[in-house]
Amino acid sequence: FSHQRPCLLKSLKREGANKLRYPPNSQSKVDWGKFFLLKRFNKEKLGLLLLTFLGIVAAVLVKFTDCVGPVSRDEHQISKPSPVC
C-alpha cells in the first residue's frame, strides 16, 4: 500500500470509549466489536425492560409527590402538614 495505517499516538487519559475506537487493535477489542455487531437484540425483552424502568420511575415520582404534599400560595391559609417520609 502507498499509505500507512492510521494510529493514535496521544494519551487517552479519561476517554475510555476512544480506547475501543482507535487502533492498534487487540483481540479483546475485536471480540467487543463482534459482540456489538453480531448480537441480535430481542425486542420483547427490551420492551419489558423499558416498561419496568418506567414503572420504577412512576413509583418514585408518586412517592416523591406524596412526601412534598400540596403547596399553598395563600399565606393566610393554614395547610395540613405533609406526611413524614
The rounded average pLDDT for each run of 10 residues, N- to C-terminus, in the chain (85 residues) is 67 67 74 81 85 94 74 58 58
Residue 10 within a domain:
no
Count other C-beta atoms under 10 Å from residue 55's C-beta.
Answer: 10
Residue 64 within a domain:
yes
pLDDT at site 20: 64
pLDDT at site 74: 58
Name the domain count of the chain: 1
Count other C-beta atoms under 10 Å from residue 69's C-beta.
Answer: 13
Residue 49 within a domain:
yes
Contact 71, 80 (CB under 8 A): no
pLDDT at site 71: 57
Residue 74 within a domain:
no
pLDDT at site 14: 65
- The domain of 56 spans 42-69
pLDDT at site 12: 64
* Alpha-helical regions (H) of the chain: 16-21, 27-38, 43-68
pTM for the structure as a whole = 0.38
Residue 14 within a domain:
no
Residue 82 within a domain:
no
pLDDT at site 66: 72
Residue 81 within a domain:
no
Residue 77 within a domain:
no
Torsion of CA 15, 17, 20, 23, to 10 degrees: -50
